[in-house]
Structure 1
Protein backbone atom coordinates (compact mmCIF):
# COMPACT_ATOMS: atom_id res chain seq x y z
CA UNK A 1 0.00 0.00 0.00
CA UNK A 2 2.73 2.46 0.99
CA UNK A 3 4.84 1.47 -2.02
CA UNK A 4 1.90 2.09 -4.36
CA UNK A 5 1.25 5.50 -2.78
CA UNK A 6 4.94 6.39 -3.10
CA UNK A 7 5.03 5.36 -6.77
CA UNK A 8 1.87 7.34 -7.46
CA UNK A 9 3.47 10.42 -5.89
CA UNK A 10 6.72 9.94 -7.85
CA UNK A 11 5.04 9.41 -11.21
CA UNK A 12 2.45 12.11 -10.49
CA UNK A 13 5.26 14.59 -9.92
CA UNK A 14 6.86 13.49 -13.20
CA UNK A 15 3.58 14.04 -15.06
CA UNK A 16 3.20 17.50 -13.51
CA UNK A 17 6.78 18.22 -14.55
CA UNK A 18 6.02 17.23 -18.14
CA UNK A 19 2.82 19.28 -18.22
CA UNK A 20 4.76 22.23 -16.83
CA UNK A 21 7.18 21.96 -19.73
CA UNK A 22 4.23 22.16 -22.11
CA UNK A 23 2.93 25.24 -20.25
CA UNK A 24 6.35 26.92 -20.47
CA UNK A 25 6.38 26.34 -24.23
CA UNK A 26 2.87 27.75 -24.60
CA UNK A 27 3.62 30.79 -22.42
CA UNK A 28 6.77 31.62 -24.38
CA UNK A 29 5.00 31.29 -27.73
CA UNK A 30 2.07 33.44 -26.58
CA UNK A 31 4.43 36.04 -25.14
CA UNK A 32 6.44 36.24 -28.38
CA UNK A 33 3.29 36.42 -30.49
CA UNK A 34 1.90 39.22 -28.35
CA UNK A 35 5.15 41.18 -28.65
CA UNK A 36 5.19 40.70 -32.43
CA UNK A 37 1.63 42.01 -32.58
CA UNK A 38 2.69 45.13 -30.67
CA UNK A 39 0.93 44.07 -27.48
CA UNK A 40 2.36 43.99 -23.98
CA UNK A 41 2.44 40.36 -22.75
CA UNK A 42 0.71 39.67 -19.46
CA UNK A 43 3.09 40.00 -16.49
CA UNK A 44 1.87 36.74 -15.01
CA UNK A 45 2.76 34.91 -18.23
CA UNK A 46 6.48 35.46 -17.76
CA UNK A 47 6.34 34.87 -14.01
CA UNK A 48 4.46 31.59 -14.43
CA UNK A 49 7.15 30.41 -16.84
CA UNK A 50 9.82 31.26 -14.26
CA UNK A 51 7.97 29.37 -11.54
CA UNK A 52 7.44 26.56 -14.01
CA UNK A 53 11.18 26.16 -14.57
CA UNK A 54 11.67 25.62 -10.84
CA UNK A 55 8.73 23.23 -10.44
CA UNK A 56 9.55 21.31 -13.63
CA UNK A 57 13.14 20.74 -12.56
CA UNK A 58 12.42 19.85 -8.96
CA UNK A 59 9.34 17.69 -9.52
CA UNK A 60 10.88 15.70 -12.37
CA UNK A 61 14.24 15.04 -10.71
CA UNK A 62 13.25 12.10 -8.43
CA UNK A 63 11.70 10.24 -11.37
CA UNK A 64 14.86 10.86 -13.42
CA UNK A 65 16.95 9.30 -10.65
CA UNK A 66 14.66 6.25 -10.63
CA UNK A 67 14.95 5.88 -14.40
CA UNK A 68 18.70 6.59 -14.38
CA UNK A 69 17.96 9.55 -16.63
CA UNK A 70 20.37 11.86 -14.88
CA UNK A 71 23.75 12.57 -16.41
CA UNK A 72 26.64 10.42 -15.30
CA UNK A 73 29.83 9.34 -17.00
CA UNK A 74 30.61 5.63 -17.32
CA UNK A 75 34.21 6.04 -18.49
CA UNK A 76 35.75 5.01 -15.15
CA UNK A 77 33.17 2.36 -14.28
CA UNK A 78 33.58 0.77 -17.72
CA UNK A 79 37.30 0.31 -17.06
CA UNK A 80 36.80 -1.34 -13.65
CA UNK A 81 36.27 -5.03 -12.96
CA UNK A 82 32.84 -6.08 -11.61
CA UNK A 83 33.56 -5.94 -7.83
CA UNK A 84 35.33 -2.54 -7.71
CA UNK A 85 32.67 -1.13 -10.06
CA UNK A 86 29.93 -2.24 -7.65
CA UNK A 87 31.74 -0.69 -4.69
CA UNK A 88 32.35 2.59 -6.53
CA UNK A 89 28.78 2.76 -7.82
CA UNK A 90 27.34 2.22 -4.34
CA UNK A 91 29.76 4.76 -2.88
CA UNK A 92 28.71 7.37 -5.45
CA UNK A 93 25.03 6.62 -4.74
CA UNK A 94 25.65 6.89 -0.97
CA UNK A 95 27.30 10.27 -1.52
CA UNK A 96 24.26 11.36 -3.51
CA UNK A 97 21.99 10.22 -0.65
CA UNK A 98 24.05 12.26 1.83
CA UNK A 99 23.98 15.40 -0.34
CA UNK A 100 20.23 15.05 -0.97
CA UNK A 101 19.56 14.49 2.75
CA UNK A 102 21.47 17.68 3.63
CA UNK A 103 19.61 19.64 0.96
CA UNK A 104 16.30 18.22 2.22
CA UNK A 105 17.11 19.37 5.75
CA UNK A 106 18.16 22.84 4.54
CA UNK A 107 15.05 22.95 2.32
CA UNK A 108 12.77 22.23 5.28
CA UNK A 109 14.51 25.02 7.18
CA UNK A 110 13.98 27.39 4.24
CA UNK A 111 10.29 26.49 3.89
CA UNK A 112 9.74 26.98 7.62
CA UNK A 113 11.51 30.36 7.53
CA UNK A 114 9.40 31.48 4.56
CA UNK A 115 6.23 30.29 6.26
CA UNK A 116 7.00 31.85 9.66
CA UNK A 117 7.95 35.19 8.15
CA UNK A 118 5.00 35.20 5.78
CA UNK A 119 7.32 35.86 2.84
CA UNK A 120 5.75 36.58 -0.54
CA UNK A 121 7.15 36.76 -4.03
CA UNK A 122 5.72 40.03 -5.31
CA UNK A 123 6.62 40.29 -8.98
CA UNK A 124 3.42 39.78 -11.01
CA UNK A 125 1.22 38.83 -8.07
CA UNK A 126 1.55 37.97 -4.40
CA UNK A 127 2.63 34.36 -4.20
CA UNK A 128 3.56 32.77 -0.86
CA UNK A 129 7.25 31.98 -1.07
CA UNK A 130 6.86 28.73 0.85
CA UNK A 131 4.82 27.41 -2.11
CA UNK A 132 7.94 27.84 -4.22
CA UNK A 133 10.46 26.50 -1.72
CA UNK A 134 8.37 23.46 -0.71
CA UNK A 135 9.61 21.84 -3.91
CA UNK A 136 13.16 21.66 -2.49
CA UNK A 137 12.66 19.36 0.52
CA UNK A 138 10.02 17.30 -1.29
CA UNK A 139 12.20 16.65 -4.33
CA UNK A 140 15.53 16.22 -2.56
CA UNK A 141 13.89 13.92 -0.01
CA UNK A 142 12.52 11.71 -2.77
CA UNK A 143 15.86 11.80 -4.59
CA UNK A 144 17.56 10.60 -1.39
CA UNK A 145 15.13 7.66 -1.31
CA UNK A 146 15.72 6.91 -4.99
CA UNK A 147 19.52 7.08 -4.68
CA UNK A 148 19.33 4.82 -1.61
CA UNK A 149 17.78 2.16 -3.84
CA UNK A 150 21.14 2.06 -5.65
CA UNK A 151 23.03 1.84 -2.34
CA UNK A 152 21.02 -0.99 -0.76
CA UNK A 153 19.16 -2.61 -3.66
CA UNK A 154 20.32 -5.13 -6.21
CA UNK A 155 20.39 -2.66 -9.10
CA UNK A 156 23.46 -0.48 -9.56
CA UNK A 157 23.39 3.13 -10.68
CA UNK A 158 26.26 2.55 -13.15
CA UNK A 159 26.07 -0.07 -15.88
CA UNK A 160 29.80 -0.17 -16.58
CA UNK A 161 29.20 0.44 -20.27
CA UNK A 162 30.82 3.55 -21.72
CA UNK A 163 29.21 5.31 -24.66
CA UNK A 164 25.66 5.83 -25.82
CA UNK A 165 23.43 2.77 -25.62
CA UNK A 166 19.97 3.84 -26.76
Structure 2
Protein backbone atom coordinates (compact mmCIF):
# COMPACT_ATOMS: atom_id res chain seq x y z
CA UNK A 1 0.00 0.00 0.00
CA UNK A 2 2.37 2.63 -1.20
CA UNK A 3 -0.47 5.06 -1.80
CA UNK A 4 -0.34 8.04 0.49
CA UNK A 5 -2.96 10.54 1.46
CA UNK A 6 -1.44 13.17 -0.81
CA UNK A 7 -3.73 15.33 -2.90
CA UNK A 8 -2.73 13.82 -6.25
CA UNK A 9 -3.80 10.33 -5.14
CA UNK A 10 -7.27 11.38 -4.06
CA UNK A 11 -10.44 12.16 -6.03
CA UNK A 12 -11.45 15.81 -6.39
CA UNK A 13 -14.85 15.49 -4.68
CA UNK A 14 -14.68 16.16 -0.91
CA UNK A 15 -17.03 13.28 -0.09
CA UNK A 16 -15.05 10.83 -2.20
CA UNK A 17 -11.79 12.10 -0.70
CA UNK A 18 -13.18 11.18 2.70
CA UNK A 19 -14.29 7.77 1.42
CA UNK A 20 -10.87 7.26 -0.16
CA UNK A 21 -9.14 8.04 3.13
CA UNK A 22 -11.51 5.70 4.98
CA UNK A 23 -10.83 2.96 2.42
CA UNK A 24 -7.09 3.41 2.89
CA UNK A 25 -7.33 3.26 6.68
CA UNK A 26 -9.54 0.18 6.54
CA UNK A 27 -7.10 -1.47 4.13
CA UNK A 28 -4.29 -0.82 6.60
CA UNK A 29 -6.49 -2.24 9.36
CA UNK A 30 -7.10 -5.28 7.16
CA UNK A 31 -3.35 -5.73 6.81
CA UNK A 32 -2.93 -5.42 10.57
CA UNK A 33 -5.60 -8.07 11.10
CA UNK A 34 -3.66 -10.33 8.71
CA UNK A 35 -0.42 -9.82 10.65
CA UNK A 36 -2.13 -10.48 14.01
CA UNK A 37 -3.94 -13.57 12.70
CA UNK A 38 -0.71 -14.93 11.24
CA UNK A 39 1.07 -14.32 14.54
CA UNK A 40 -1.68 -16.08 16.47
CA UNK A 41 -1.55 -19.11 14.17
CA UNK A 42 2.22 -19.20 14.63
CA UNK A 43 1.76 -19.09 18.43
CA UNK A 44 -0.79 -21.89 18.17
CA UNK A 45 1.72 -24.04 16.30
CA UNK A 46 4.46 -23.29 18.84
CA UNK A 47 2.09 -24.01 21.72
CA UNK A 48 1.24 -27.42 20.30
CA UNK A 49 4.86 -28.28 19.54
CA UNK A 50 6.44 -27.02 22.76
CA UNK A 51 3.72 -27.38 25.40
CA UNK A 52 1.54 -30.03 23.76
CA UNK A 53 -1.38 -27.70 24.42
CA UNK A 54 -3.66 -26.27 21.74
CA UNK A 55 -4.99 -22.72 21.82
CA UNK A 56 -8.42 -23.64 20.48
CA UNK A 57 -9.67 -20.05 20.32
CA UNK A 58 -7.05 -19.20 17.67
CA UNK A 59 -8.92 -21.05 14.93
CA UNK A 60 -12.11 -19.17 15.71
CA UNK A 61 -10.28 -15.83 15.68
CA UNK A 62 -8.66 -16.79 12.37
CA UNK A 63 -12.08 -17.39 10.84
CA UNK A 64 -13.32 -14.00 12.00
CA UNK A 65 -10.10 -12.44 10.74
CA UNK A 66 -10.72 -13.75 7.22
CA UNK A 67 -14.15 -12.14 7.23
CA UNK A 68 -12.77 -8.82 8.48
CA UNK A 69 -9.80 -8.80 6.09
CA UNK A 70 -12.09 -9.40 3.12
CA UNK A 71 -14.66 -6.72 3.83
CA UNK A 72 -12.23 -4.12 5.18
CA UNK A 73 -9.84 -4.44 2.25
CA UNK A 74 -12.24 -4.88 -0.68
CA UNK A 75 -13.35 -1.23 -1.04
CA UNK A 76 -9.73 -0.05 -1.25
CA UNK A 77 -8.89 -2.68 -3.86
CA UNK A 78 -11.92 -1.72 -5.93
CA UNK A 79 -11.06 1.98 -5.69
CA UNK A 80 -7.49 1.36 -6.89
CA UNK A 81 -8.61 -1.12 -9.59
CA UNK A 82 -6.58 -3.91 -7.95
CA UNK A 83 -9.47 -6.32 -7.61
CA UNK A 84 -9.96 -9.39 -9.74
CA UNK A 85 -11.52 -8.40 -13.05
CA UNK A 86 -12.35 -10.35 -16.17
CA UNK A 87 -11.95 -7.72 -18.84
CA UNK A 88 -11.54 -9.91 -21.89
CA UNK A 89 -14.81 -8.69 -23.42
CA UNK A 90 -14.57 -5.06 -22.36
CA UNK A 91 -11.00 -4.71 -23.67
CA UNK A 92 -12.12 -5.95 -27.10
CA UNK A 93 -14.85 -3.30 -27.42
CA UNK A 94 -14.45 0.17 -28.92
CA UNK A 95 -14.23 2.98 -26.37
CA UNK A 96 -17.84 4.18 -26.20
CA UNK A 97 -19.48 0.71 -25.91
CA UNK A 98 -16.79 -0.24 -23.39
CA UNK A 99 -17.58 2.80 -21.24
CA UNK A 100 -21.28 2.05 -21.44
CA UNK A 101 -20.77 -1.61 -20.49
CA UNK A 102 -18.48 -0.68 -17.58
CA UNK A 103 -21.05 1.88 -16.39
CA UNK A 104 -23.88 -0.67 -16.58
CA UNK A 105 -21.88 -3.37 -14.78
CA UNK A 106 -20.75 -0.91 -12.11
CA UNK A 107 -24.30 0.38 -11.61
CA UNK A 108 -25.62 -3.18 -11.27
CA UNK A 109 -22.85 -4.01 -8.80
CA UNK A 110 -23.65 -0.83 -6.84
CA UNK A 111 -27.30 -1.88 -6.55
CA UNK A 112 -26.33 -5.42 -5.49
CA UNK A 113 -23.82 -4.19 -2.89
CA UNK A 114 -26.27 -1.55 -1.65
CA UNK A 115 -28.94 -4.21 -1.18
CA UNK A 116 -26.48 -6.47 0.66
CA UNK A 117 -25.46 -3.55 2.88
CA UNK A 118 -29.11 -2.80 3.67
CA UNK A 119 -30.04 -6.39 4.51
CA UNK A 120 -26.76 -6.94 6.35
CA UNK A 121 -27.40 -3.80 8.37
CA UNK A 122 -30.88 -5.02 9.32
CA UNK A 123 -29.49 -8.40 10.38
CA UNK A 124 -26.73 -6.74 12.40
CA UNK A 125 -29.23 -4.45 14.15
CA UNK A 126 -31.46 -7.44 14.96
CA UNK A 127 -28.49 -9.27 16.43
CA UNK A 128 -27.65 -6.24 18.55
CA UNK A 129 -31.26 -5.68 19.64
CA UNK A 130 -31.83 -9.30 20.67
CA UNK A 131 -28.39 -9.79 22.23
CA UNK A 132 -27.57 -12.74 19.98
CA UNK A 133 -24.28 -14.55 20.49
CA UNK A 134 -22.34 -16.96 18.33
CA UNK A 135 -22.61 -20.61 19.34
CA UNK A 136 -18.87 -21.09 19.38
CA UNK A 137 -16.21 -21.51 22.03
CA UNK A 138 -15.67 -17.76 22.51
CA UNK A 139 -19.39 -16.85 22.22
CA UNK A 140 -18.85 -13.29 20.92
CA UNK A 141 -21.87 -11.06 20.29
CA UNK A 142 -23.07 -11.87 16.77
CA UNK A 143 -23.29 -8.24 15.70
CA UNK A 144 -19.54 -7.81 16.20
CA UNK A 145 -18.95 -10.56 13.66
CA UNK A 146 -21.50 -9.42 11.07
CA UNK A 147 -20.97 -5.65 11.43
CA UNK A 148 -18.11 -5.68 8.94
CA UNK A 149 -20.36 -7.08 6.17
CA UNK A 150 -22.76 -4.12 5.80
CA UNK A 151 -19.88 -1.68 6.28
CA UNK A 152 -17.81 -3.28 3.53
CA UNK A 153 -20.80 -3.62 1.21
CA UNK A 154 -21.79 0.02 1.72
CA UNK A 155 -18.29 1.19 0.87
CA UNK A 156 -18.23 -1.12 -2.16
CA UNK A 157 -21.58 0.29 -3.31
CA UNK A 158 -20.24 3.84 -3.01
CA UNK A 159 -17.13 2.86 -4.93
CA UNK A 160 -19.19 1.23 -7.70
CA UNK A 161 -21.32 4.39 -8.00
CA UNK A 162 -18.09 6.40 -8.35
CA UNK A 163 -16.89 3.96 -11.03
CA UNK A 164 -20.20 4.32 -12.86
CA UNK A 165 -19.84 8.09 -12.94
CA UNK A 166 -16.12 7.95 -13.77
CA UNK A 167 -16.71 5.68 -16.76
CA UNK A 168 -18.36 8.62 -18.55
CA UNK A 169 -15.68 11.17 -17.60
CA UNK A 170 -12.67 9.46 -19.14
1:163 match: none
**Contact 1:100 1:144 survives alignment (8 Å):** yes
Q: Taking structure 2 as the reference length, what is the TM-score of the superposition?
A: 0.84
Separation (CA, whole Å) in 2 of partners of 1:55 and 1:119: 19
Q: 1:114 aligns with which of 122, 127, 147?
A: 127
**1:57-136 mapped onto 2 (5 Å cutoff):** 57-136=70-149
Pairing of 1:1-166 with structure 2 (within 5 A)? 2-154=15-167
CA distance 1:81–1:2, change in 2 (3 Å)? closer
CA-atom RMSD in angstroms:
1.8
Residues matched between the structures, number: 156
Q: Which consecutive unaligned segments of at least 5 residues does structure 2 have?
A: 1-13
Q: Tell me, in whole angstroms, the C-alpha distance in 1 between the residues paired with 2:167 and 2:136.
A: 48
Where do 5+ consecutive residues of structure 1 fail to align?
A: 157-166
Deviation >6 Å, runs of 4+: none
Larger mean Cα displacement after TM superposition, 13-22 or 25-34: 25-34
State how far apart, in whole Å, the 2-side matches of 1:35 and 1:86 are: 55
Cα-to-partner distance string for 1:33-75 (whole Å, 9 max, x where unaligned): 2222352222222221111111111111111110111111121
1:103-154 CA-to-partner distances (Å, cap 9, x unmatched) read 0111011101111221112423231110111111111000000111111125
**TM superposition score normalised by structure 1:** 0.85
Cα 1:91–1:154 change in 2 (3 A) is closer
**Distance between the aligned counterparts of 1:23 and 1:155, measured in 2?**
41
Taking a change above 3 Å as real, the CA distance of residues 50 and 120 of structure 1, as seen in their structure-2 partners, is same
1:20–1:56 CA contact under 8 A, matched in 2: yes
Q: CA deviation at 1:30?
A: 1.6
